[in-house]
Amino acid sequence: MDSRHFHHALKISEQLCMGCSHCMSVCPTEAIRIRGGKAILYENRCVDCGECFKACPVDAIYIDQDDFNRIHDFKYRIALVPAVFIGQFPESVSRDQIYHALISCGFTHIAEVELGTEVLLRHMHEYAEKHTDKKPLISSFCPAILRLIQVKFPSLVGNIMLLKPPLDITALYCRKKLTEEGFNPAEVGVFYITPCAAKIAAIKSPVGEDYSIITGVINMDFIYNKVKKRLASDKETGSMQIPNPDLPGSAMRWTLTNGEAELMQGRSLAIDEIHNVIEFLEKVENEEITDIDFLELRACDQSCAGGVLNSANRFLVAERLLNKDFNEGGGQKDGIHAYSEYLDRRISIQEIKPRSMMKLDEDMAEAMKKMDRATQIMQLLPLTDCGACGAPNCQAFANDIVQGEANIRQCIFIQKSREHSGELTSEDSLGILKGIWGNDKF
């Protein structure tokens, strides 16, 4: 069992939160509760998928990022740019214009994240050939999915391909290349422009790695606004240093739905949007779906084009990346391929361990007792999943009770029953509800 702490990029502002429970209702891992009229996060369950961020009507949930000025702590500043960032802009804006604007913002080098896909694809094919006993193999690309499997589908952690994603491969290449060119490694900072919260969390506390070689993370919506302003004021393209701007079309499509699956052999499926993924994995776990060789699973609708930090419409972003004129490059023989041997030795990640959110206690005997008690409590509950108790459903509420995090009197149906029998007064019931939903709502 992996006991390391999960870093979470998603934060809740207590001042702004009004306890509306929208976030609790959409959370796919039941990681949110309402207490004292505010949303609170159960960090051991959160996978940083960003569903709560999208659902919050008052922007009380935000995504933390590194201070942008931190890039100036380094003499050489590499921006790791995913293809979906280019897709934020209309067709009239060229890649060169966007890259020049990034240089104007303070970066000294630009690297396209998808540069590492060709190296990775070769290893994915080799991995599939060596692990024919593990079906379906699951892509390690999406960090929200890796955490989802750890906490909700722990029996499937052994199916995850133990290979670095393109982001880490490209970061390794950039650092190695600049070091060989005589740059002082201590003066090189590598900053990733992220479309989602999960990748921030993956860099701060990576799954399958002890640490990340990426220096910092910049939210895509933040840098998009800076670049947009630069583009409006400066039409020159200038000169810049790009390790390999001529990527093949398959690399440009990698971050989109079916970007990996279409390149794998055997029966391969691509599933996006985290609730769809959960529904499918439940069937895989129960062996209702079999004979699948490879699964490409992405937490966001339209994959990275639908990341919560994107500014543009996800369908328009995908359209631009799929445009033949946009991704007709054939790739270069030099560049990253010259470092294949170096990258091959470092492409594997450590064994990924389960972190089951359903585990009620580390001691098996005690866990069984708690499970029995939760079952008994469920028989007393109305099973309406109304959420009035501040938990997303009755099962989650029962588990909270046995963990000492809730009291059965928080169920409004139990309250009314006990009021009727005289065990509770109406004032007692009102006090309990205020404890959940806050005084302001009464």
* 16-25, 43-52, 54-63, 324-333: the lowest-pLDDT one: 324-333
Contact 128/266 with Cβ under 8 angstroms? yes
pTM assigned to the model: 0.90
The reported pLDDT for the residue numbered 244 is 43
d(CA 318, CA 257): 9
d(CA 69, CA 191): 11
The reported pLDDT for the residue numbered 169 is 96
Block residue for tokens 């004129």: 325
**Strand blocks (E) in 27-140:** 32-35, 38-41, 61-63, 76-81, 109-112, 137-138
Q: Give the mean pLDDT of the chain.
A: 91
pLDDT tens digits, 279-321: 999 999 999 998 999 999 999 999 999 999 999 999 999 998 9
| DSSP per position, 354-414 | ---TT---SSHHHHHHHHHHHHHHHHHS------TTSSSSHHHHHHHHHTTS--GGGSHHH
pLDDT tens digits, 139-150: 999 999 999 999
The reported pLDDT for the residue numbered 375 is 95
Over residues 12-32, the mean pLDDT reads: 95
Contact 123/251 with Cβ under 8 angstroms? no
> What percentage of the chain carries pLDDT values higher than 70?
93
The more confidently predicted of residues 249 and 352 is 352
Distances (CA, A) of 15 to 21, 58, 236, 367: 15, 11, 44, 37
The reported pLDDT for the residue numbered 111 is 93
* 231-240, 310-319, 344-353, 371-380: the lowest-pLDDT one: 231-240
pLDDT tens digits, 151-207: 999 999 999 999 999 999 999 999 999 999 999 999 999 999 999 999 999 999 888
Compute the radius of gyration of the chain from its Cα atoms. 24
Confidence at 62, pLDDT banded by 50, 70, 90: very high
The reported pLDDT for the residue numbered 333 is 46
Confidence at 363, pLDDT banded by 50, 70, 90: confident
Distances (CA, A) of 150 to 153, 260, 294, 351: 6, 21, 18, 12
pLDDT tens digits, 215-257: 999 999 999 999 999 998 875 544 444 444 456 677 889 999 9
Over residues 109-121, the mean pLDDT reads: 93
Element housing 133 (H / E): none
Element housing 408 (H / E): none
**pLDDT higher than 70, residue 348:** yes
For domain 10-63, is the CATH number 3.30.70.20?
A: yes
Over residues 64-87, the mean pLDDT reads: 94
Over residues 403-408, the mean pLDDT reads: 94
As annotated, the residues of the chain forming the CATH 3.30.70.20 domain(s) are: 10-63
The reported pLDDT for the residue numbered 202 is 92
The reported pLDDT for the residue numbered 326 is 61
